[in-house]
A and B are shown apart, each in its own frame.
Chain A
Amino acid sequence: MEMKKSRKILLTVIGIIVAVYTLFPFYLVVMNTFKSANSIVSSPVGFEGISVSQLMTNLSSVVNNSNFNFWYAFGTSVIITVVSLIVLALFGGMAAWVICRNKTKWSTAIYMVFIASMIIPFQVVMLPLISTFRDVGNFVGISLLQSIPGIVFAYCGFGGAMTVFILTGFIKGIPYELEEAASIDGCSPEGTFFRIIFPLLTPVITTVTILNGMWIWNDYLLPSLMLGQNGKVKTLPVAVQAFVGSYVKQWDLILTAALLAIIPMVIIFLIAQKQIMNGMVEGAIK
């Protein structure tokens, strides 16, 4: 009993340390959006100089800044994220279903390729990827760099592996008899997917969509490489770069813009966290 109690205390202490460690950057961002640039430099961690009026001033400066172009960047981020997520959910689901139900050497090989691609770090492929995209774009006559379709295409490629991996695990738990019953009832294979399988995937697709959504929405590296720092198309994380100069960094505006960028994801995550956990567990045990 004593052992159990001391173990519990130890785990709680570790949990608190990890929570503080994880939340501290978020605390810094939120706290400093209430401060002026001078207050941030003089006291980046403390509460000195915080005021709601300063927050309003910072928000106004960020939203109305012509270099930052908040609404355009916000719209671009929304389009890239939403389109990528729809394509990932739809085609990821189809791929996972076919891989799971067709027990051939080819389907196993394709599944292995998906899994293998998950263990290759993005940093390894990012530079060859850019030159490949440029060459392919030149070849087909469609610009894949500095364009929304190009980056959506890249996100679908990078997100496809995890999506297929999680969905495959879930589909294995769906009784095959449901599909047989559907085919006897008169469903075509496409009908079976959209009328039976896809609705049953809703919990896990929600989970995957939120995980992919957080990644795509917050991603900086891929859009900065594909869209460029000074390109016409910018996502929110890339656009924040507008406040970073060679000699001066406008920390009040950088942090306020960062807060604006992460707020939608935080809200969605808080609303859907129960769904995420359910989806993770179902995917794991089914």
Chain B
Amino acid sequence: MASIRFENVTKTYEGATSPVVPNLNLEIKDKEFIILVGPSGCGKSTTLRMIAGLETITEGELYIGDRLMNKVPSKDRDIAMVFQNYALYPHMNVYKNIAFGLKLRKEDPAEIDRRVHEAAKILDLEHLLTRKPKELSGGQRQRVALGRAMVRNPAVFLLDEPLSNLDAKLRASMRTEIAKLHQRLDITFVYVTHDQTEAMTMGDRIVVMKEGVVQQFDTPQALYEKPVNLFVAGFIGSPQMNFLDVEIAKEGRKLYAVLGKNKLAVPDFKCNALAPYAGKRVIMGLRPEDFLGQNQLTEDNAMDTEMSFSELLGADYNLYMSVNDIRIIVKIPAAGAQPERGSYRIAANMDHAHFFDKETEQAICH
């Protein structure tokens, strides 16, 4: 069993005044594919490196399975790791790179040979086994790094931004390969990335981090639909969620989000949570895709906007608009659309609107 458990773990670098990871509590289940995501410097790589034993833990306890790992050296943790720059041994060929860990563990040479060839076959590296890393392309090096890690049959597979050095096309195909590899190996994967597309498409659950603190730990769908705060709402989704500073107005039993001349009716199922904010300002979040067609435009969901320019993405258009001088992005299907600059009345899908407390930045309702 290879669950991973952080109990009040703090990491402070020598000479630093504040911890890079303060008081982390996290439980990763056995065989889960977990993504650690966040902006640069948020502590996600440090967290991964603590699991790998490459960083010491200042305070708290880290368990892999039921075993306390704080003082256990990397080689005895039954882990394998793929590095951002692959860290292939330049003086060894592909075969020796993959077999290195097994040789050090004094495995039977015939068994080493079998496992290296098996990994090479899975990763389509059989014809490259005699080549040195410098003779390989980025994608091939990446696969060798994966092979070197998987051949050891580890309990935990750690990946530190393994796709960041690849071009967009190769990255997309390697995403699928890694997801398949997880299914095949059926072990715990912990994957670090700053790319939210990778996070959303690969993980069973995602840990969103900011300044060393876990903001939300949930499924990709939950992060997208029910972000717990402004940071998660802005980080997950591309283009990012539009944030509008609105005033909540109460008229009879109805609540309205007022933005200048625009008055958007809040759906009844959100009213209870928003009722205490009547007369106050809150942040309303609307994803670019949360706008309705013109046939669904009503007085209750209409917004007067000004479009400055548009971006064709193939299947969709991103329209860059402004509402009350606040810039928003609206995504519409490209088919039949020929957007031009000018004034538009658009329909917000208020069922999908998110509301956040302006001071605490925490979600009020979704």
The chain A residues found within 8 Å of chain B, CB to CB, are 175, 177-178, 180-187, 191, 196, 199-200, 202
Q: Is the CB of B75 within 8 A of A184?
A: yes
Stretch of B33-41, B76-84, B273-281, B285-293 on the interface side: B76-84
Q: Is the CB of B87 within 8 A of A181?
A: yes
Q: Is the CB of B101 within 8 A of A186?
A: yes
Q: Is B63's CB within 8 Å of the partner chain A?
A: no
Q: Is the CB of A178 within 8 A of B89?
A: yes
A200 contacts across to B, CB distance below 8 A: 90-91
Q: Is B74's CB within 8 Å of the partner chain A?
A: yes
A186 contacts across to B, CB distance below 8 A: 75, 101, 104-105
Contact of B87 among A175, A187, A199 (CB under 8 A): A175
- Docked pose: A180 CA to B52 CA in angstroms: 9
Interface residues of B in 99-137 (CB under 8 A from A): 100-101, 104-105
- Docked pose: A199 CA to B148 CA in angstroms: 20
Q: Is B312's CB within 8 Å of the partner chain A?
A: no
A184 contacts across to B, CB distance below 8 A: 52-54, 74-75, 79-81, 101
- Docked pose: A77 CA to B84 CA in angstroms: 49
How distant is B252 from chain A, measured CB to nearest CB, in Å?
Answer: 64
Q: Is B85's CB within 8 Å of the partner chain A?
A: yes
- Docked pose: A191 CA to B80 CA in angstroms: 18
- Docked pose: A6 CA to B148 CA in angstroms: 57
Q: Is B73's CB within 8 Å of the partner chain A?
A: yes
Contact of A187 among B85, B91, B104 (CB under 8 A): B104
B52 contacts across to A, CB distance below 8 A: 180, 184
Q: Given contacts A184-B80, A186-B105, are A177 and B87 in contact (CB under 8 A)?
A: yes
Q: List 14 A-B contacts (CB under 8 A).
A: A175-B87, A180-B52, A180-B81, A181-B81, A181-B83, A183-B54, A183-B73, A183-B75, A185-B100, A186-B101, A191-B104, A196-B89, A199-B91, A200-B91
- Docked pose: A200 CA to B134 CA in angstroms: 13
**Bitwise interface map of B from 127 to 157 toward A, beta carbon under 8 Å scored 1, else 0:** 0000000000000000000001000100000
B53 contacts across to A, CB distance below 8 A: 183-184
How distant is A184 from chain B, measured CB to nearest CB, in Å?
Answer: 5
A185 contacts across to B, CB distance below 8 A: 75, 100-101, 104, 148, 152
Closest chain A residue, CB of each to CB of B106: A186
The 8 A-B residue pairs with the shortest CB-CB distance, nearest first, are: A185-B101, A186-B104, A177-B87, A181-B87, A186-B75, A199-B91, A177-B83, A184-B74
A191 contacts across to B, CB distance below 8 A: 104
Closest chain B residue, CB of each to CB of A177: B87
- Docked pose: A196 CA to B97 CA in angstroms: 11
B89 contacts across to A, CB distance below 8 A: 178, 181-182, 196
- Looking at B79, B84, B91, the one whose CB has the most chain A CB atoms below 10 A away is B91
Interface residues of B in 211-261 (CB under 8 A from A): none
Interface residues of B in 145-192 (CB under 8 A from A): 148, 152
B79 contacts across to A, CB distance below 8 A: 184
How distant is A88 from chain B, measured CB to nearest CB, in Å?
Answer: 21
Closest chain A residue, CB of each to CB of B104: A186
How distant is B69 from chain A, measured CB to nearest CB, in Å?
Answer: 13
Contact of A180 among B83, B90, B105 (CB under 8 A): B83
Contact of A178 among B80, B87, B101 (CB under 8 A): B87
- Docked pose: A178 CA to B52 CA in angstroms: 14
How distant is B130 from chain A, measured CB to nearest CB, in Å?
Answer: 17
B90 contacts across to A, CB distance below 8 A: 178, 200
Given A184-B79, A185-B148, A191-B104, 5 extra CB contacts under 8 A: A175-B87, A178-B87, A183-B53, A186-B101, A187-B104
Closest chain B residue, CB of each to CB of A104: B14
- Docked pose: A178 CA to B88 CA in angstroms: 7
B101 contacts across to A, CB distance below 8 A: 184-186
B104 contacts across to A, CB distance below 8 A: 185-187, 191
B83 contacts across to A, CB distance below 8 A: 177, 180-181
- Docked pose: A180 CA to B83 CA in angstroms: 9
Q: Given contacts A186-B101, A186-B104, are A180 and B91 in contact (CB under 8 A)?
A: no
How distant is A165 from chain B, measured CB to nearest CB, in Å?
Answer: 23
- Docked pose: A178 CA to B89 CA in angstroms: 7
- Docked pose: A178 CA to B105 CA in angstroms: 18
A202 contacts across to B, CB distance below 8 A: 91
- Docked pose: A200 CA to B152 CA in angstroms: 24
Closest chain B residue, CB of each to CB of A179: B87
A187 contacts across to B, CB distance below 8 A: 75, 104
How distant is B95 from chain A, measured CB to nearest CB, in Å?
Answer: 15
A183 contacts across to B, CB distance below 8 A: 53-54, 73-75
How distant is A151 from chain B, measured CB to nearest CB, in Å?
Answer: 34
- Docked pose: A218 CA to B54 CA in angstroms: 47
B80 contacts across to A, CB distance below 8 A: 184
Q: Is the CB of A180 within 8 A of B75?
A: no
A181 contacts across to B, CB distance below 8 A: 81, 83, 87, 89, 148
- Looking at A177, A180, A184, A196, the one whose CB has the most chain B CB atoms below 10 A away is A184
B87 contacts across to A, CB distance below 8 A: 175, 177-178, 180-181
A199 contacts across to B, CB distance below 8 A: 91
How distant is B141 from chain A, measured CB to nearest CB, in Å?
Answer: 13
Q: Is the CB of A175 within 8 A of B91?
A: no
How distant is A182 from chain B, measured CB to nearest CB, in Å?
Answer: 8
B73 contacts across to A, CB distance below 8 A: 183
B152 contacts across to A, CB distance below 8 A: 185
- Docked pose: A187 CA to B80 CA in angstroms: 13
- Docked pose: A39 CA to B84 CA in angstroms: 71
